[in-house]
């Protein structure tokens, strides 16, 4: 029983680190995708969209 509990303490931090890195990677990819789409919009249309939001 003690071995299993000790084993969990070693597995969990690595598992959480793996999940954290995967989520960070996904968020970064989504952000760069959105940024690329926004950069492809011509400047005058982009400015109009930004003014319409306010």
The CA distance from 36 to 54, in Å, is 22
Whether 49 and 41 have beta carbons less than 8 Å apart is answered as: yes
- pLDDT tens digits for range 7-54: 555 667 778 888 889 999 999 999 999 888 888 877 777 777 767 654
pLDDT of res. 23:
92
CA atoms within 13 A on the CB side of 21: 6
């Amino acid at each position: 029983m003690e071995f299993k509990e000790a084993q969990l303490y070693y597995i969990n931090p690595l598992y959480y680190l793996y999940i954290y890195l995967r989520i960070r990677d996904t968020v970064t990819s989504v952000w760069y995708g959105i940024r690329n789409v926004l950069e492809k919009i011509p400047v005058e249309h982009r400015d109009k969209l930004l003014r319409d939001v306010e």
